[in-house]
A and B are shown apart, each in its own frame.
Chain A
Amino acid sequence: MTTTLTYDDKSVRRFMVAAIFWAIVGMSVGVLIASQLSWWQMNGHVLELLTKPLHDWVTAKFGWDWWPFFQTDGMAHLTISRLRPLHTNAVIFAFVCNMMFAGIYYSTQRLCKVRTASDLLSGIHFWGWQGIMVAAVLTLPAGLTRGKEYAELIWPINLCVVVVWSVFAINFFWTLARRNEPTLYVSLWFYIATIVVVAMLYIVNHLSLPTSWTHSYPIFGGLQDALVQGWYGHNAAAFVLTTPILGIMYYFVPKAANRPVYSYRLSIIHFWGLVFIYLWTGPHHMLNTAMPVWLQNLAMLFSLMLWAPSWGGVLNGLLTLRGAWDKLRSEPALKFFVAGVIFYGMATFEGPLLAIKSVNAVSQYTDWTIGLVHSGTLGWNGMMAAGMFYWLAPRLWNTQLWSKPLADMHFRIGLVGVLLYIAATGYSGISQGLMLNQFSPNGLALKYTFLQTLGTIQLFHILRMVGGFLYLSGFILLACNIWKTARTGNPCDETVEITVLEPARKDDMTWAEALINEPLAYILLAIGSTVLWFFLPPHADKAALMMTLLIVIMAVRAFKSSDSWSHWHERLVGNYLPLTVLVFVAAAIGGAVQIIPTLLVYREKNVEERLQELYTPLELAGRDIFISEGCHLCHSQMIRTLPADVLRYGRAGVADDYSRYGESLYDHPYQWGSKRTGPDLAREGGPMAKDPQGKPCSLMRVGNRGNPWHFNHFLNPRQISDSSNMPAFPWLFEQEADVNSLPNKIAAQTRLGVPWPVMTPHAIRTMVETQSREIAASLVAAKVYLPAKPQLAGEELRDSLAKTKAVALIAYIQKLGACRPVAKEGPAMPTPLNPDSYRAMPNTPKTRPQP
């Protein structure tokens, strides 16, 4: 029986236009924040420079005194640390996701020979997603953030994301269920993986306890939060930026080249390889840190194993073009696809490289990581998106592409842009990483200060901005080209005649057939016994390794002896629900094996050596300001187990002053950081201080630098060091710290397991007042100058200062690194689920941190 159906191409057009719009928004913000690295004035002061001349001219010419102009050293909403999350969210979740939705809606209908199940759900999906992105634009620059990278959006928006994603999932799986095609094409496997894995990652990493409509604390803290964030963050790259785009590659590249896919077998292997291995690699973002060594080892080794499956995709993308390379001359889309796949190959080669501990010691916290990410996003995502748009536009509007030369121009500008970007960030990252790790020739001290390394990379920050600007220009050309194309044609929904599939020819596998069978049994047994090898005590682990080996040998023999394994897989991809379940299981194993033991083992009762001192209420308020302003995006709080880190950031004379996980145990969210645009702050705080009269303070602490130093530094970093590129934070001196919400916040933290003492709201307020006045008094004694209120002095100035956000933030900074020694009797005991504890450690006397 045949029937005629019309595909829903309207949704595709909508998502595509939205993707182009958000690409330009997100990339523009990216170019702006890149410029802020080189010129601090771009953080708002530029508005004064632009508007003041007109003001001066008008005042002089007409004698008006009311003509307005901006007068500011920096504007909150335009500050790099608030805009950076907007850039990442806009390009990842607005640009790439909209592009992915366009590709998925277009190809799924054609691969399933059926119209998308529900137009209503498609509409909710589209408008819901754009609404979420508008909410992101409104909240992120306002400083409303959860403080976790790529998971910044506040909890009400998180709920909307979950709802809209579910709508998308229902619509997609419903379409699969109604398909007129017996089996699922490779692209659809990748789409399934994207939908279920992103849902899992997003929900787990966004679990939080709200304290108000706009604020919440993540339920995980310290190391556990770091692990969950690494797992989420890395796999946001994998399952938002990689798998859906691979699905799109598998559809659009053979379509545009009109050639068969290079190897079906390779697509099976690399699909399952990616889905299984990717989820183990998250902790490679915390190599050489307080992350337990076994997790670092797993992450590094799995990252290296990821190289082959990734290149499986590259081979299938590029070699599909064999016999069709001449088409690159005539089809602009193919040119972009080829460049995209090559960049994917480079990025997935570079990724495992940077996941090697010794390479990571240079790359971590520098621009090199940023360069790698952009070779993936600009090179792979952006090029694939552009290729897909150029291929789709003539088909969606039933016309010819308006201008092929313009598309060629875009290609050239974009390619130069991305190469310049990668070269500049790579050069600056490697230079800075090597300089920071370098000792002076006599080996007695570090050769360079942090500021000296910053000076070296200035030029490359500018080149990187130029590269980004070129890439953005290319996308503006694309927008013009697509706009003109749409204007020359008419929106057109493709109508086709298809053969209706009898229901019995699809989804015919019972759950028992799908789940209870030889291949699955061997694979799960092998994985299970490998996991035992990780966790069992010495010698038992070797037995588990032998068992794994045995199972693998038996599995290979079973696989070779008949075709039953490939039969089973062939049937599995004709049954979308069992396939989805198995994809989920394959993806969930990695996270479960890493996260569950970490949640069980690394708790207060097992902490060794050092335990974090609790914050005071004022310090907690300061910490929330620190997170809200995005300080953690440029300042880490993690001294790695690297000589240069310990010497540069550790306390003088303490040989083992690297960070322990116990030192950040109660931090919700964790603050280890991912980039050091400025220096590390792990030991910035210090012991209890004395007041100006020399009497001990009750709550105030002073660390490496005094309160007046921090005061002046927040007001204008250039006052402290000329070459600083840190933005000024003048509004911290005008706004009052949020003290009223503290009882709520402390109650929430108590529920999350932070051992706060029982305090009444009144007691909290009294503590806040005592500490803030001690700090303010020390500032008044140092004769600080408050530009907003120059007339105040003495106690008036003290009380006015005490309420400001600046004082709360200073309180927090002066607390950083405060911890107390934990005395444990006898040698460390082996702990189940902690492979590191089984390791034969040479017995050395432990040094305690100095009080």
Chain B
Amino acid sequence: MSQQPKRGQFAKTKDEVVLRDHAFDGIQAFDRKLPNWWLFTCYGAVAFFVAYWFVYYGTTLVKSPQQAVKERILAVQAAQLAELNQAMAGLNDAKLVHELATHPLYVAAGQATFMKNCIPCHGLDLSATQDDGNGQRIPLRGLPLTDHVWKFTHKPMGLFDLINKGSPPESTGNNGVRMEAWGQKLSPAEIAQVLSYIISKVPEDFTDTPAPAAK
């Protein structure tokens, strides 16, 4: 039979640390009470378990993650739409061509956004080509913006819509490459700035837009 363990005895005589008498290959072990702080973390985790599970499954205080994320995204979409509506209300062809595209600060802001997001497809100089290092121009994936050809529309507000929503669904894309919906990443103001920058590069294509009526 194994020896009488001393752990039970210890529990009765607190504060005494007992050295267990058996040695394994010379290794002995103390027997002592578990540290209180350690026990509290242990019990605390168990209590938290019960409370968390009870609140989640026993009450309706907490939304499910699916519900929570959907509500958040719906709120973001509503705010996006509100901002878009607001921006569109003050925006028209005439304003884009004659006010914004001629405003140096606005065009510069548009250029910055363009350089950050658009040059991989439309090129540094908007020609949709890039230098291959040997002086040859190789085509990029996007359409050129300075060739005076407008595949979908050359109405400024139409272009705004195109950038906002991406290539129209019926388009097969340029060699299969379609433009993404930039409205997902850029605010309406940024899109208007980018568009101003593009218009400022080829103002001759937009001369048919009448100037705003004098107030």
Tell me whether A and B are bound partners.
yes
Instruction: Give a binary string over A759-792; 1 marks a CB under 8 Å from any B CB, 0 the rest.
Output: 0000000000000000000100111000000000
CB neighbours (8 Å) of B173 from chain A are 702, 706
Can you name the residue of chain B whose Cβ is closest to the Cβ of A316? B29
Instruction: Give a binary string over A807-849; 1 marks a CB under 8 Å from any B CB, 0 the rest.
Output: 0000000000000000000000000000110111110100000
Q: Does B136 contact A (CB under 8 A)?
A: no
Q: Does A580 contact B (CB under 8 A)?
A: no
Complexed CA–CA distance, A840 and B63 (Å): 10
Q: Does B64 contact A (CB under 8 A)?
A: yes
Residues A443 and B76 in contact in the complex (CB < 8 Å), given A301-B53, A641-B68: yes
Tell me the smallest distance from the CB of A104 to a CB of chain B, in Å. 14
Interface size on B, residues (CB 8 A): 66
- A261 engages B29 (CB within 8 Å): yes
Instruction: Give a binary string over B147-190; 1 marks a CB under 8 Å from any A CB, 0 the rest.
Output: 00000000000000000001000001101111011011111000
Q: Does B58 contact A (CB under 8 A)?
A: yes
CB neighbours (8 Å) of A502 from chain B are none
Can you name the residue of chain A whose Cβ is closest to the Cβ of B79? A444
Size category, A interface: 35 or more
CB neighbours (8 Å) of A689 from chain B are 172, 176
Q: In the complex, which residues 7-56 of chain B have their Cβ closer than 8 Å to any Cβ of chain A?
A: 7-8, 19-20, 22, 24-35, 38, 41-42, 45-46, 48-50, 52-54, 56
- A844 engages B67 (CB within 8 Å): yes
Q: Does B80 contact A (CB under 8 A)?
A: yes
- B2 engages A570 (CB within 8 Å): yes
- B34 engages A566 (CB within 8 Å): no
Complexed CA–CA distance, A566 and B203 (Å): 90
Tell me the smallest distance from the CB of B140 to a CB of chain A, in Å. 10
Best-buried of B181, B184, B186 by chain A (most CB within 10 Å): B184
Q: In the complex, which residues 630-684 of chain A have their Cβ closer than 8 Å to any Cβ of chain B?
A: 641-643, 646-647, 650, 652-653, 655-656, 658
Can you name the residue of chain B whose Cβ is closest to the Cβ of A702? B176
- B70 engages A656 (CB within 8 Å): yes
CB neighbours (8 Å) of B65 from chain A are 288, 293, 357, 641
CB neighbours (8 Å) of A266 from chain B are 34, 38
Tell me the smallest distance from the CB of A320 to a CB of chain B, in Å. 9
- A706 engages B180 (CB within 8 Å): no
Complexed CA–CA distance, A181 and B66 (Å): 57
Residues A260 and B76 in contact in the complex (CB < 8 Å), given A269-B34, A312-B38: no
- A541 engages B57 (CB within 8 Å): yes
CB neighbours (8 Å) of B92 from chain A are none
- B66 engages A641 (CB within 8 Å): yes
CB neighbours (8 Å) of B134 from chain A are none
- A692 engages B35 (CB within 8 Å): no
- A778 engages B176 (CB within 8 Å): yes
Q: Does A315 contact B (CB under 8 A)?
A: yes
Residues A301 and B49 in contact in the complex (CB < 8 Å), given A445-B187, A653-B77, A840-B60: yes
Q: Does B74 contact A (CB under 8 A)?
A: yes
Complexed CA–CA distance, A113 and B26 (Å): 11
CB neighbours (8 Å) of A183 from chain B are 2, 22
- B57 engages A839 (CB within 8 Å): yes
Can you name the residue of chain B whose Cβ is closest to the Cβ of A838? B57
- B79 engages A182 (CB within 8 Å): no
Residues A706 and B175 in contact in the complex (CB < 8 Å), given A305-B46, A444-B80: yes
Can you name the residue of chain B whose Cβ is closest to the Cβ of A639? B69
Tell me the smallest distance from the CB of B66 to a CB of chain A, in Å. 6
Of A182, A186, A304, A315, which contacts B2 at CB under 8 A?
A: A182
- 14 example contacts (A-B, Cβ-Cβ < 8 A) are as follows A255-B26, A260-B28, A262-B30, A312-B38, A442-B79, A442-B83, A446-B185, A562-B8, A570-B5, A652-B181, A653-B77, A702-B176, A702-B178, A835-B57
